[in-house]
Chain A
Amino acid sequence: MKNPLDSLWGTVIAGLVLTGVLYMLAKSMMGG
């Protein structure tokens, strides 16, 4: 599989996905 960081837009998409994941994590750590 190609490293998404090799492409600029792959990097941005990876960042957006990570933002969503960390948002959910923050919400659950704060008690929903």
Chain B
Amino acid sequence: MGDFIVYGLGRWLHIMAGVMWIGLLYYFNFVQVDAMKAAAADQPPTGAGITKHVAPRALFFFRWAAVVTVLAGAMILGERIDDALLFKERAYVPIGIGAWLGLIMFFNVWVLIWPNQKKILGIVPATDEEKAKARRVAFLASRTNVMLSLPMLFMMVASGGLFRRAFFG
């Protein structure tokens, strides 16, 4: 029963939350950034609805899906977590690299993207200058996460796939 919860439900939850996290990350970068640019160029500008109604909801599921993904991932790693994160055992190197990339992305979400998005969306007060700086930091952190998501996903699937080494349970 314990194994079913950790390796069955845990992995399922890890993938579902991960799809939501990375899916919304791709939505922001592949859709919303350019849509907001186009909306700002309209006369009059038409992006207010996205800023007011879409972005806050997307950011809510984005940041909490990141939490669930990381916690479920840690649960699956279990007692192998130090083998993976400290690269103690060769078999766990790919999943260790993937986990580190995921943790860097998680840091970017909660430390760089969300606090700056709060300023951009007017959830916390900020001057125009602070908003402009926040926009740049959040944008680059988000783009960094898109870049990191490619090797992160590769390492996640290659761990038990291409490398055929790390198995859990």
Q: Which residues of A contact B (CB under 8 A)?
A: 3, 5-6, 8, 11-12, 14-16, 18-19, 22-23, 25-26, 29-31
Contact = CB atoms under 8 A, between A and B. Distances in A.
B55 interface: no
B152 to A, nearest CB: 9
B46 interface: no
Contact of A26 (B143, B147, B163): B163
Interface of B: 29-30, 33-34, 87, 90-91, 93-94, 97, 140, 143-144, 146-151, 154-155, 158, 163, 165
Contact of B30 (A8, A23, A30, A31): A8
Given A11-B29, A29-B87, A30-B90, A18 B148 contact: yes
A30 B97 contact: no
A29 B93 contact: yes
Given A8-B29, A11-B143, A26-B93, A18 B150 contact: yes
Contacts of A23: 151, 154, 158
B30 A18 contact: no
A25 to B, nearest CB: 7
B86 to A, nearest CB: 12
A22 B93 contact: no
B30 to A, nearest CB: 7
A25 B96 CA distance: 12
Contact of B165 (A11, A14, A30): A30
Contacts of A18: 147-148, 150-151
A5 B93 CA distance: 27
